Each structure stands twice: as structure tokens, then as C-alpha cells.
Amino acid sequence: MKLTKDELKQFDEQGYLFFPGKFTSEEAALLKQASEEIFAMDRKEVWREKSGAARTAFAAHQYNEPFRRLGSHPRLIDPVEQILDGKLYMHQYKVNAKAAFDGEVWQWHQDYGTWARDDGMPEPRAMNIAVFLDDVTAANGPLLFIPGSHKVGVVEAGHDLETTSYPLWTLDRETVSKLAEQGGCVAPTGPAGSVLLFSSLLVHASPPNISPFGRTIVYLSLCQVDNHITQFKREEWIAHRDFTPINALADDCLQELTKTQGIAAE
Ligand code: SIN
Ligand code: MN
């Protein structure tokens, strides 16, 4: 799938693109089931909220077959290769749960802010591409974006080690308010299987999930191979050190598994 000229223009202006229903409900159900198996594991890569509910599973592509395949899926790799204009490696891979009732906030931040400061990534030639494994609605803690905020470069940030279980370089309220005066604030919502691609400089956050509906999203953070990280402070399963270029698999790589595992759409 090639991004059109209009999509590339929209990405340049807004900093993100949204593709509702890019994966089928069978493919999303396969991955959702895999996420539940992972969240039930007692592993160092699975981080929890204070309540004990799962928050994030890192590096799931290294220990789960459906997530391994998703990490090389052409519907995710091809558009990012096109935008970044080169081969990619996996800088980070996370499955974020945002559990019903218990899912906590992700404070306002830019991903590249953390990748530059903590991992020594030379340039923002990296980005996220995310797949919804649940329906994401206004109620269950959707991602919030400030459109156009990727145009301002790296914004000053403070290292937040307290408000959540995950250390993050976060923006202050005044900065976020100023950026939102220009760009507004949006929450892309859609069915399980939708794909959201966004610039590593886009300012984003997500609110707590007090609803009775879970909101699992999987994020591939892909970096151009020439732009690999230069600093190795974080665990290798948080900021990967294998810079091997990803070769995309066949488009039906997940479908094959839905057949063998007898997954049916909800
Ligand atoms: C992130 O910004 O990296 C995660 C936010 C979320 O999953 O809500
Ligand atoms: Mn982020």
C-alpha cells in the first residue's frame, strides 16, 4: 500500500494519519487474545499500574508469534518506509493495555524527546505506527494529539519519574496550552483493527480509563537504520540495540494464524 500525495500532505501538516479498519476484526481478535496471554505473564517486560493491572508489555515481538509477525507487517512497515525514505529497525515495541477502570494517564510528551535524551537518537527520523486491538472511543482513554505540534521541534521537558510507573520526559501545562491554541486537540477513535501513524515529534497524551471497557493498543516505534541510537542507558528490551533492517512479511501473515488458531470475529 502506497500513501497518496494527499495523505503525505496531511501527514506533513497535521503530524499523523488515521486508517480506520486497516486490519480485519479476525486479525485484531488474534492480537487481542495474544495481548491477554502476555499480560497474564510474570515477566520483567510487563509493567503494571499501582492496582496491579497490566500497563505495558515491552518487546512482545520477541516472545509472542502473532506480535512477531505484526512487527514485520507490510501494512505497518511500508507506509513508514515511504515517509522516512529508507529501511527501518525496531527501536521499541509496546502493547499498552489501558485497562478498564484502572488504566492510568500518559502525560503530555513527544516520543522523540525521550529517544533523543535517553537513547541518543541523532534525529527524529523515527515514528510510531499503532494498531487498535479494542474499539477506541471517547470513553476508554483514547490518545490525544495536538495537530501540527510536530512542526515546533523538540520542546523543553522535565523528567517525570513520579506520576506514573513509566519514566517519561513530559511537557508543562503552559507549553501544551500554547500549542493547543494553534492546533487544537483531537482524539482519533475507531474500531479494533484501525491504524494510527504519528510523527515522533507530535505532542500527545492519554487520559485515565475509568470506563468499563479496556483499550489495548500496540505500538511499533520504527527508526531509520542510519539513525540508530548511540546511548545504551535503558534496558535493551525498552530501547532495542539490534539495528538489522526489517524485511516485511506477506500481507496474509496474520491471517494464516487466525486459520490455524480458529479465531473468529466478535
Ligand atoms: C504513548 O504515548 O507512548 C502511549 C500512550 C497510550 O498508549 O495511551
Ligand atoms: Mn508516546
- Whether residue 225 contacts residue 88, with contact meaning beta carbons closer than 8 Å, is answered with yes
Q: Give the Cα separation of 254 and 18 in Å (integer).
A: 21
Could you tell me if 98 and 213 are in contact, meaning their C-beta atoms sit under 8 angstroms apart? no
Amino acid found at 246: I
pLDDT attached to residue 168: 81
- The pLDDT of residue 157 is 80
Residue-level pLDDT, tens digit, the chain, 266 residues: 799 999 999 999 999 999 999 999 999 999 999 999 999 999 999 999 989 999 999 999 999 999 999 999 999 999 999 999 999 999 999 999 999 999 999 999 999 999 999 999 999 999 999 999 999 999 999 999 999 999 999 988 888 777 766 678 888 999 999 999 999 999 999 999 999 999 999 999 999 999 999 999 999 999 999 999 999 999 999 999 999 999 999 999 999 998 887 776 55
Please tell me the distance between residue 262's alpha carbon and the centre of ligand 2 in angstroms: 33
The residue whose CA has the least distance to atom 4 of ligand 1 is 106
Kindly state the cell numbers that stand for 214.
Answer: 479496556
pLDDT for the residue 264: 62
- Which of 114, 169, 219 has most ligand 1 atoms within 8 Å of CB, for mutation? 219
User: What is the predicted pLDDT for the residue at 23?
Assistant: 98
Q: Which atom belonging to ligand 1 lies closest to the Cα atom of 141?
A: 8
Distance CA 60, CA 215 (A): 17
pTM: 0.95
Length of the chain (residues) = 266
User: Residues lining ligand 1, judged by CB closer than 6 Å?
Assistant: 96, 98, 106, 143, 204, 206, 217
Which atom of ligand 1 is the closest one to the Cα of 204? 2
| Domains detected in the chain | 5-260 (2.60.120.620)
Residue 265 has what pLDDT? 53
How close is the Cα of 183 to the center of ligand 2, in Å?
18
| 83 CA from centroid of ligand 1 (Å) | 21
User: 257 to each of 94, 207, 236, how far by Cα in Å?
Assistant: 21, 33, 28
Q: What is the pLDDT of residue 165?
A: 65
- Of 120, 67, 73, nearest to 94 (Cα)? 67
For residue 160, the model assigns a pLDDT of 74
Q: Whose CA is nearest to atom 7 of ligand 1?
A: 96
